[in-house]
């Protein structure tokens, strides 16, 4: 899918340095938006498992001590995956033009950060990257993750995309950890509308076909 399909005008294409770790869905969200819209960036790996985001050098640039984080080379720096996605997507079809639809997109992005990522991404990190056995994982992560997937299933049972009739930042924000939820012990076969939507988003992002 080319950038032009999503309506990013040439003048809005940016160049920046993106600090991230490819194991992190939060970092991949930003990378996918940048790739889709044709922004030019230089990727610098920051190993989150070994704590590189807490090194003095990194903290001096990005006091939040987390990735993704971007340096625009002119003194402007920005962290937080959804803030970065929205900044890069400004003016494109990934952000609905209608103000209410835009608010709906934000609704899902805020929900993702509070009710989805803290359960599904954290459980995945503990299981897949730290190798914690099931009995050492907080059961609340499981129930919260399942509740988030139930919520998504209810929404997607009636529509193909989170907002409107096409891909927006809401889908990209939510797909990042949903598509790897199995690595956190959540079998998406139990949430078929979610599973089908993951396939659509991956296709739109050029991961398939």
Ligand X SMILES: N[C@@H](CCC(=O)N[C@@H](CS)C(=O)NCC(=O)O)C(=O)O
Footprint of ligand X on this chain (CB under 6 A)? 24, 26, 48, 51, 53-54, 65-68, 80-82, 113
Alpha-carbon span 34 to 50, nearest angstrom: 26
User: Shortest approach of ligand X to residue 15 CB, angstroms?
Assistant: 21
Nearer to ligand X, 84 or 156 (CB): 84
Nearer to ligand X, 108 or 195 (CB): 108
The bridge status of strand 15-20 relative to strand 69-71 is antiparallel
Alpha-carbon span 86 to 184, nearest angstrom: 27
Alpha-carbon span 165 to 180, nearest angstrom: 24
Cβ-in-10-Å burial (0-12, 13-18, 19+) of 36 comes to buried
Nearer to ligand X, 12 or 113 (CB): 113
Nearer to ligand X, 54 or 182 (CB): 54
Alpha-carbon span 102 to 99, nearest angstrom: 5
User: Shortest approach of ligand X to residue 116 CB, angstroms?
Assistant: 11
User: Shortest approach of ligand X to residue 113 CB, angstroms?
Assistant: 6
User: Shortest approach of ligand X to residue 160 CB, angstroms?
Assistant: 25
């Amino acid at each position: 899918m080319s950038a032009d399909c999503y309506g990013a005008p040439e003048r809005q294409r940016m160049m920046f340095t993106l600090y991230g770790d490819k194991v992190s869905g939060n970092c991949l969200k930003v990378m996918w938006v940048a790739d889709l819209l044709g922004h030019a960036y230089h990727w610098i790996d920051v190993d989150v498992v070994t704590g590189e985001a807490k090194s003095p050098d990194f903290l001096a640039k990005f006091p939040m001590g987390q990735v993704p984080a971007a340096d625009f080379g002119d003194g402007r720096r920005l962290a937080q995956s959804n803030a970065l996605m929205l900044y890069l997507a400004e003016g494109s079809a990934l952000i609905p033009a209608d103000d209410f639809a835009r608010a709906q997109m934000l609704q899902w992005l805020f929900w993702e950060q509070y009710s989805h990522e803290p359960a599904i991404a954290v459980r995945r990190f503990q299981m897949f990257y730290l190798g914690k056995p099931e009995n050492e994982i907080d059961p609340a992560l499981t129930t919260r993750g399942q509740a988030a997937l139930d919520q998504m299933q209810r929404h997607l049972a009636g529509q193909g995309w989170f907002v409107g009739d096409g891909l927006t930042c809401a889908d990209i924000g939510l797909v990042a950890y949903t598509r790897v939820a199995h690595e956190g012990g959540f079998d998406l076969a139990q949430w078929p509308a979610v599973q089908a939507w993951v396939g659509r988003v991956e296709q739109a992002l050029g991961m398939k076909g």
